[in-house]
Structure 1
Amino acid sequence: MNNRTEIFQTLRDAMVELFELDPERISLEANLYQDLEIDSIDAVDLIDHIKRQTGKKIAAEEFKSVRTVGDVVEAVYRLVNPETA
């Protein structure tokens, strides 16, 4: 999970599994809260899933600014590639 494409695919798979979302609804532009109807409890579950996948904890403060799936991909990319972020 080193590049944005891999991160997106892993994230999409996780969202389908965790939240029973239709994969076609999940795009980089999709708003987590409005388009995908993810609430704050779901967001915590997603953060926990990311931590288990990467072995790194994403800061809750960083996740507060996240609005779209693309924002999550960028946050995870910066987490797993700190030297290029």
Structure 2
Amino acid sequence: MTDVNKDQVFEQVKDALVELFEIDAADIQPEAHLYTDLDLDSIDAVDLVVHLQNVTGKKIKPAEFSTVRTVDDVVTAVAELLKES
């Protein structure tokens, strides 16, 4: 089992947000709220999950993302997935 680096996961999530939604990288902070600060909607959230599944090669269950509200929540959820073997 490899140690998951949350900084690396954050960079991947940030890159995804910039690439998929043309969000200014400077606006993407760990505490940024996906819906209010970054103007994402539920469709965008699904697109993000699909993108992260492709990047990580892991299946992300919708329930695991139902409580995600901030960029850091996304990073934590992805890091937890990557820890699972």
Q: TM-score range by the shorter chain?
A: over 0.9
Question: TM-score w.r.t. structure 1 length?
Answer: 0.93
Match of 1:15 in 2: 17
Partner of 1:46: 48
Partner of 2:74 in structure 1? 72
Structure 1: distance between partners of 2:37 and 2:49 = 19
Q: Distance in 2 between matches of 1:40 and 1:57?
A: 18
Report the CA distance between 1:82 and its aligned residue: 2.6
Identical-residue share of aligned pairs (%): 52
2:28 is equivalent to residue 26 of structure 1 = yes
Which digits, 9 at most, give the CA deviation of each residue in 1:27-73, with x for residues without a partner?
A: 00000000001100000000000000010011101101000000000
Please give the TM-score of this superposition, normalised by the length of structure 2: 0.93
- What is the number of equivalent residue pairs in this alignment? 82
Alignment of 1:51-66 (within 5 A): 51-66=53-68
Extract unaligned runs of 5+ from structure 2: none
The answer for unaligned runs of 5 or more in structure 1 is none
Deviation of 1:26 after TM superposition, in Å, equals 0.2
Letter in 2 for 1:26: I
Which of the numbers 18, 36, 40 marks the counterpart of 2:38? 36
Partner of 2:8: 6
